[in-house]
Structure 1
Amino acid sequence: MLLEAHALTLKQGTGIATYARNLAHTAGSLGHDVELLIGIDRGINRRDPLLSEVALSDVVDPKAIDPLKWAGRAVDWTIGVPGGAKAQRLPAPRIVLDPGSGTAAERRHPTQGAVRLWERSYLHFNRFGRRMAIVPEGRHDLFHATRPTPAFVKNSANVYTIHDIVPLRLPYSTLDNKKYFYNMIKHIVNKGDHIVTVSDFTRRDVLEFFDVPEDRITNTWQSVSVDSAARSISDDDAARDIGNRYGLNFKEYFLFLGAVEPKKNISRMVEAFAASGTTRPLVLVGGLGWQYERDLEMIEDERLLSWRFDGTHIKQERRVQRLPYVPRASLLSLIRGARAVMFPSLYEGFGLPVLEAMLLGTPTITSNTSSLPEVAGDAAMLVNPYKIEDIRDAIKAIDADADLRAELSSRGRKRAEFFSPERYAERMKAVYDRVLG
């Protein structure tokens, strides 16, 4: 099995990276020999494999001009990739891999690299209106793209996961090329052997927007797993971790997880937080996405400054704080230590932060739109994400009511069982058995 997992190479974690990581583990547990497929900047020189390995992990000056790369782009733009993109098995790592890249943790799986995989598939599709062939080393009975990709492997069953169709549903919220996105999705739902979605909501969206037989598209939901060592950490240890690292007190802050981008609804959330009157801070964990200027202005608004007397000095503090990146272990501690996780997004194909919060027993405020009620069930406070007063009232209620927090914590853990790795494996097995006959 060849599993497209390019999202794992990104410096900051994404929901698709988590999906790819979980899917690789799940497919392996089902008995598949999993190889990962990622994009690389340059091919492997077999005569100097060590130097090639170093080059794959090298940091390139973004201002530097690479004539060969630009020449390659010009060729791909003109004629596409009619012969297919060759993938090469990467050597077993001998160098110290960048711990900030998800592939460092996943290189226990054999990995193949295709030069400029995403860019070349995009250029090929724009030139010919069809998928680019990938020519991997070895034979693979199954190719699974973890996000919509106009690429395929010959003589393999080709499966594609569609997480959402945000560029079409909320066109104002993304910078995607909408014409390309529409034509590319239309093509892969017609040519792929099977389509997987991560929620019933996304499945219905795809069926509404595209002409695809219902029996060729399956919702498997998602799963998230937390290893037993991380889950066994005591509250005292988690409290020390977040206190030492971030100066936060256990259960004395609200938490948001996600990139700063329009669909995350950050400005309304911050307005509601300011109006709630809570004295506890709001912590946002996530990098900058796109069209984030207005949200950053809201986060940095001087109205959200406060003053605290620590017994010796009067200190200025921000009621809204942003942490661009948090290591996975500390992220779990932050979720466990939050009074509540807030996720009033406008649109989500699944909403992993809601599941992660429920799994760790943290009360959650989320939206009554898109897939989020489907994930949360009766285990979260659901709000209209377009109404600031709804979000404000939920914050006030969950902040003041310890019994409500305890009830949501209990319901959340129970609801998370529906998305367990074991149940997810059963759903993926059914899909793979079907396409492989």
Structure 2
Amino acid sequence: MPKNILLEAHATLLKQGTGIATYARNLASTATGLGYDVELLIGTEQRINRRDPLLSEVVLNDAVDPKAIDPLKQVARAIDWTTGVPGGVKAQRLPAPRIVVDRGSGASTERSHPTYGAVRLWERASMHFNRFGHRMPVRSEGRHDLFHVTRPTPAFVKGAANIYTIHDIVPLRLPYATLDKKKYFYSMIKHLAEKADHIVTVSEFTRKDVQEFFKIPDDRITNTWQSVSMSEAALSVSDEEAARDVDNRYGLAFKEYFLFLGAIEPKKNISRLVEAYAASGSTRPLILVGGLGWLYEQDVEMLKDERLLSWRFDGSHIRPERRVQRLPYVPLGSLLSLIRGARGVLFPSLYEGFGLPILEAMMLGTPVITSNTSSLPEVAGDAAMLVNPYHIEEIRDAIRTLDADADLRAELVKRGRKRAEFFSPARHAERVKAVYDRVLG
């Protein structure tokens, strides 16, 4: 019989995509392609109603008022905070959806994999760990040979091999750049490192980083890197189609703008990027695609700088125009067009466990400027311009050079496509299979 894998995939529910959501989706696809029976585990706000599963499906997809206060949930949270969850949480099989209309396609929703729901999974696991100092058990209605947690969460499935993916340890390396509770994060990662059947990382840099902090033996931690799976339809979109898309939707000319991808948060280095862009003198706009993360006030204020305001004559009127524009959310299809249509992707992040925007840009034929720190040189290889992200002048000069040198852009596109092959889904599958075979025996 095929081995059964329960994959923690709560990040896939987030309205705005994240790197961890992409990782979870790709991992589910990879494991399925390897012949495993893959099931997903997500967090829910309430238990499944077995007497009326269709109504239960409606409630699971209900819109939530963030300002609403539910006294019963407040009491439940207070109890969990005080007592932990010593009996563990129950993972209930979700009913196959038949009546809820998908918000993206307009069709009836269909899950690609059987899915289980556990009430407030991530929140209750952290409360349990704070109370007892060890992982919270997950009691599943199904049988699972392996439980793979796609982001550090102190939960485990009894009787299964338990694997945890650690993407980075930014809260420990850049404590001033996150709002994570650092003592909790350190203790939780340390505990997982001791109790896990195996630890997975997404870069050699992160593997070494984690080992330096937590002294994990080489045979208990493996780097599988990441991959990006794009459909043939997405990869076959012509430049002409992409040009029409970015022009019609965003009023942008093909290859006449620079692009940044990522949330507005300290480690993304937005203020230095914008300062360098302003100093470069480029007349091509800089488009920032991403929502607000945390500690973003300084970066948002920077975007209001008067230096970033220009004027455009449209034939009859002189109109103000922002040289730096932010798009909080972009649908996937348009995002791929934006990447393909950019003159360059600018990603001078301070610290990354992998750096998916680099790989996405290389796959779609767009040159990249990125940092010479953390995992980013490992991902970029010789296929990007590397800069010190703390030196505004270096970022400025790289923007000027990339903007002016067509031959350089063409060479980086060529190298980028070649470099992307190293992170192909097929190679990722080989690495994942090696880990699963080792753990499952």
Query: Shift of residue 55 of structure 1?
Result: 0.6
Query: Shift of residue 96 of structure 1?
Result: 3.0
How far, CA to CA, are the matches of 2:64 and 2:399 in structure 1? 45
How far, CA to CA, are the matches of 1:64 and 1:368 in structure 2? 45
Query: Shift of residue 72 of structure 1?
Result: 1.2
TM, length-normalised to structure 2: 0.97
Aligned match of 1:40: 44
Query: Shift of residue 105 of structure 1?
Result: 8.0
Matched, 1:209 2:213: yes
Distance 1:97 1:132, change over 3 A: farther
Q: Match of 2:362, as an amino acid?
A: M
Aligned match of 1:291: 295
Distance 1:125 1:97, change over 3 A: farther
Aligned match of 1:320: 324
SS in 2 for 1:114: strand
Matched, 1:304 2:308: yes
How far, CA to CA, are the matches of 1:95 and 1:269 in structure 2? 46
Aligned match of 2:341: 337
SS in 1 for 2:118: strand
Query: Shift of residue 295 of structure 1?
Result: 0.3
Aligned match of 1:417: 421
SS in 1 for 2:97: coil
Query: Shift of residue 97 of structure 1?
Result: 4.5
TM, length-normalised to structure 1: 0.98
How far, CA to CA, are the matches of 1:366 and 1:105 in structure 2? 39
Where does 1:424-435 land on structure 2 (aligned, <5 Å)? 424-435=428-439
How far, CA to CA, are the matches of 1:156 and 1:97 in structure 2? 35
User: Which one of 64, 73, 78 corresponds to residue 77 of structure 2?
Assistant: 73
How far, CA to CA, are the matches of 1:86 and 1:243 in structure 2? 49
How far, CA to CA, are the matches of 2:281 and 2:68 in structure 1? 50
Where does 1:5-16 land on structure 2 (aligned, <5 Å)? 5-16=9-20
How far, CA to CA, are the matches of 2:400 and 2:266 in structure 1? 24
Aligned match of 1:92: 96
How far, CA to CA, are the matches of 1:26 and 1:68 in structure 2? 40
Aligned match of 2:194: 190
Aligned match of 1:229: 233
How far, CA to CA, are the matches of 1:351 and 1:155 in structure 2? 34
SS in 2 for 1:428: helix
User: Which one of 385, 403, 407 corresponds to residue 407 of structure 2?
Assistant: 403
Matched, 1:263 2:267: yes
How far, CA to CA, are the matches of 2:149 and 2:30 in structure 1? 15
Superposed CA offset, 1:72-109 (max 9, x none): 112111111111100111111123345369xx988211
Aligned match of 1:389: 393
Q: Match of 2:65, as an amino acid?
A: D
Distance 1:105 1:212, change over 3 A: farther
How far, CA to CA, are the matches of 1:320 and 1:327 in structure 2? 20
User: Which one of 90, 111, 116 corresponds to residue 115 of structure 2?
Assistant: 111
Q: Match of 1:370, as an amino acid?
A: S
Asked whether the equivalents of residues 58 and 100 of structure 2 are also in contact (C-alpha less than 8 Å), the reply is no
How far, CA to CA, are the matches of 1:247 and 1:45 in structure 2? 48
User: Which one of 51, 57, 64 corresponds to residue 60 of structure 1?
Assistant: 64
Asked whether the equivalents of residues 96 and 110 of structure 2 are also in contact (C-alpha less than 8 Å), the reply is no
SS in 1 for 2:147: strand
SS in 2 for 1:126: helix
Asked whether the equivalents of residues 57 and 100 of structure 2 are also in contact (C-alpha less than 8 Å), the reply is no
Asked whether the equivalents of residues 100 and 109 of structure 2 are also in contact (C-alpha less than 8 Å), the reply is no
Asked whether the equivalents of residues 3 and 146 of structure 1 are also in contact (C-alpha less than 8 Å), the reply is yes
Cα RMSD, aligned residues only: 1.2
Asked whether the equivalents of residues 43 and 122 of structure 2 are also in contact (C-alpha less than 8 Å), the reply is yes
Query: Shift of residue 211 of structure 1?
Result: 2.3
Q: Match of 2:58, as an amino acid?
A: V
Asked whether the equivalents of residues 21 and 106 of structure 1 are also in contact (C-alpha less than 8 Å), the reply is no
User: Which one of 126, 135, 149 corresponds to residue 131 of structure 1?
Assistant: 135
Query: Shift of residue 314 of structure 1?
Result: 1.4
Query: Shift of residue 300 of structure 1?
Result: 1.6
SS in 2 for 1:34: strand
Distance 1:420 1:430, change over 3 A: same
Matched, 1:359 2:363: yes
Where does 1:134-213 land on structure 2 (aligned, <5 Å)? 134-213=138-217
* Further displaced range: 345-354 or 296-305: 296-305
SS in 2 for 1:332: helix
Aligned match of 1:31: 35
Asked whether the equivalents of residues 57 and 98 of structure 1 are also in contact (C-alpha less than 8 Å), the reply is no
Asked whether the equivalents of residues 48 and 56 of structure 2 are also in contact (C-alpha less than 8 Å), the reply is yes
* Further displaced range: 106-115 or 315-324: 106-115
User: What percentage of aligned pairs have identical amino acids?
Assistant: 79
User: Which one of 23, 28, 37 corresponds to residue 19 of structure 1?
Assistant: 23
How far, CA to CA, are the matches of 1:18 and 1:120 in structure 2? 24
Q: How many residues align?
A: 435
Where in structure 2 are there 5+ consecutive unaligned residues? Answer: none
Asked whether the equivalents of residues 11 and 100 of structure 1 are also in contact (C-alpha less than 8 Å), the reply is no
How far, CA to CA, are the matches of 1:347 and 1:136 in structure 2? 36
Q: Match of 1:75, as an amino acid?
A: I
How far, CA to CA, are the matches of 1:349 and 1:234 in structure 2? 32
Aligned match of 2:6: 2
Following TM superposition, where does structure 1 have runs of at least 4 consecutive aligned residues deviating by more than 4 angstroms? Answer: none
